[in-house]
Amino acid sequence: MEAEKQHQFDVDLGNLMAFDSYHTFPSQPPLSREDLTRQCLLKGTHLVQAIADALFTLPSIEDVDGPLVTLPPPTTKLPREKHLPKPKPPTKWEAFAKKKGIQKRKKDKIVYDEQSGTWKRRHGYDRANDEDAIPIIEAKPTDDPEEDPFAKRKENKKNRIEKQEKNRLQNLKEAAKFGALPSHIQLAATALPITGTQAAPKKVTKDELGNVAGIAATATASGGKFDKKLAGEKPQKHEGKYRKFLPVVEGTGIGSLEREQTEKILNKIISKNSHNILNVEKAVTMHNVKKEKKRRSEKGKALASATDKKLKTQKKSFKKGDSKKGKAKGK
Amino acid sequence: MRPLDEKETSAVFEKLFKFVGNNLKNIVENPSHEGPDSNPGRYCFRLHKNKIFYASESLVKRATNVARPNLVSLGTCIGKYTHGGSFHLTVQALNLLAANAKHKVWLKPQSEMSFLYGNHVLKGALGKLSENIAAGDGVVVFSMADVPLGFGVAAKSTLDCRKLDPNGIVVLHQADVGEYLRMEDEL
């Protein structure tokens, strides 16, 4: 009987898990809560027993602490704990390339070096066409005699690097808007000018470094509680973040930081309410006044037309007078 | 005490803007005339316990010599924060609002007492009111002698007030100078 039951159980030793696919609860006599609980516990006991039986049938290795067993790989696939990371928005270049239809193609690792006449690697140590390896730079007639061409090349390289870094940060800032920041940067995003809400500090102070280390220390399974400490490591003063405020009094005059903050918020509020400058009700009133003026001018015209009618009446009476005179002459 | 952070400053400014409009710039950038310093600076906002104080920079400097538990007040208290984080103006801000008010309402003499006991302003109590008040705007309430009595929120716009019956509410009461006696302990 027990053997038959055990054969029906599906045991996943990799996850130390067992379940019964064929189990059903009787539905006809409705079970009370206590009965249902008792049945669940009984079933659970059987399943745990099946796990224990399967575990103790595995070959074991003797050890000081007792027999050790290597578990087989798990067969049940567990779902992902967190949601999939959001896809990053395309960088500026990627968007441009897509728009232009530019295809990405790989470059060769080996490039011909004009200087030494041999084939060398494109990047890295002893690279091809290395600017630092050029001993002589010929001057052109248009060159400025005051200018050092070697220093100029060094300066150009520095500018290229700065531009590249600026573009990279801009792309990260764009990614931060969609919440698709790479995980290795998220912790540092508070200190970088990616979020755009605060200026990047010139140098990370001792306290800030301790704070970041404290936050990073809580990234383990026990939240840093049971982790081994390094030699000389002190307990963290601030395990998490804490708020920072501008100084109450800052030297002579109100602080420039506070002044900037106040000015920014003030301008935001005023610009948000700038639509109130146009007073709609006043405009409506003026419009009504104009309408009334037009009506009055129209009434004046009506009076003029009435005068015309009176003139016509006079003409008629004049005609009648003439006819009377004619009759008198006849008699 | 400490200066306000960005969110707190926004809450305070938006509430003040409701009553003073663009005169908010005058309040914020008002050059200070207090203190013996050659350059007294200007007025600033400081948070102490749950109250917001509007004080000159010179006063704030000297207040830093007093321990935080022992400091009771400084400058003008204009409002307080609730535990939920919203900002409420209190009656101490009345002088600041009255000097920069965007909309004003004047009460008849026989109705001043009703308002000073905390009642709303009715149509029959109105002596004068400024033009172009929209419903929901902040309003400062004056007596006919131009003495500020309190402030509130307009329940009706200026045009609607004309059609209102005498018992209709025109201004919803928020604060009045009677609170100095009625709520002396809480202020």
Digit-by-digit pLDDT tens for chain A (331 residues) are: 444 444 568 888 888 888 888 877 777 777 788 888 888 899 899 899 989 988 888 888 888 888 888 888 888 888 888 888 778 888 888 899 999 998 988 999 999 988 888 899 998 888 888 887 888 888 888 888 888 888 888 999 999 999 999 998 888 888 877 777 776 666 665 555 555 455 555 567 777 777 777 778 778 888 777 887 777 777 666 655 667 777 777 665 555 778 888 888 888 888 887 776 666 667 787 888 888 888 888 776 666 555 544 444 444 433 343 333 433 333 3
The domains of chain A are located at 8-67, 107-133
- The whole-angstrom distance between residue A293's C-alpha and the CA centroid of its chain comes to 58
B158 to chain A: nearest residue by CA?
A281
Nearest to B12 by CA among B1, B26, B28: B28
Of A248, A279, A282, which has the smallest distance from its Cβ to B3's Cβ? Answer: A248
B25 to chain A: nearest residue by CA?
A266
CB pair distance less than 8 Å for A253 and B41? yes
3-state SS, residue A1: coil
- List the B148-154 sheet strands across, edge first: B121-122, B169-176, B148-154, B138-143, B104-107, B126-129
pLDDT tens by residue, B57-107: 888 888 989 998 999 999 999 999 998 889 999 999 999 999 999 999 999
Tell me the nearest-neighbour CA distance from B13 into chain A, angstroms. 7
Name residues whose C-beta falls within 8 Å of residue B123's C-beta, 6 or more positions apart in sequence: B161, B164, B165, B166, B167, B168, B169, B170
The Cα–Cα gap between A65 and A265 comes to 66
CB pair distance less than 8 Å for B10 and A273? no
| B chain contacts of residue A270, beta-carbon cutoff 8 Å | 17, 22, 24-25
Q: Which residues of B touch A (CB under 8 A)?
A: 1-3, 5-6, 9-10, 13-14, 17, 21-22, 24-25, 28, 39, 41-42, 44, 46, 57, 60-61, 64, 132, 159
Q: Strand runs (DSSP E) across A84-146, as ranges? A: 110-113, 118-121
A261 to chain B: nearest residue by CA?
B6
3-state SS, residue B53: strand
Q: A 261-280 residues with CB below 8 A of B?
A: 261-262, 265-266, 268-270, 273, 276, 279
pLDDT tens by residue, B127-185: 988 888 888 889 999 999 999 999 999 998 888 888 888 889 999 999 999 999 998 88
3-state SS, residue B80: strand
Of A246, A266, A281, which has the smallest distance from its Cβ to B13's Cβ? Answer: A266
- In the numeric block, the tokens 């307990």 are attached to A235
- Domains in chain B, ordered, with CATH? 1-93 (3.10.450.220), 102-181 (2.30.130.10)
Q: Hey, what amino acid is at B16?
A: L
- Give the per-residue pLDDT at B141: 95
Of A246, A253, A273, which has the smallest distance from its Cβ to B17's Cβ? Answer: A273
Does A288 lie at the interface with B, CB-CB under 8 angstroms? no
| A chain contacts of residue B34, beta-carbon cutoff 8 Å | none
Query: Measured on CA atoms in the order A33, A38, A40, A41, is the torsion positive or negative?
Result: positive
Best B1, B2, B23, B46 member to test A by mutation, with max A CBs in 10 Å, is: B2
Largest CA distance in chain B: 57
Best B1, B4, B74 member to test A by mutation, with max A CBs in 10 Å, is: B4
CB pair distance less than 8 Å for A281 and B159? yes
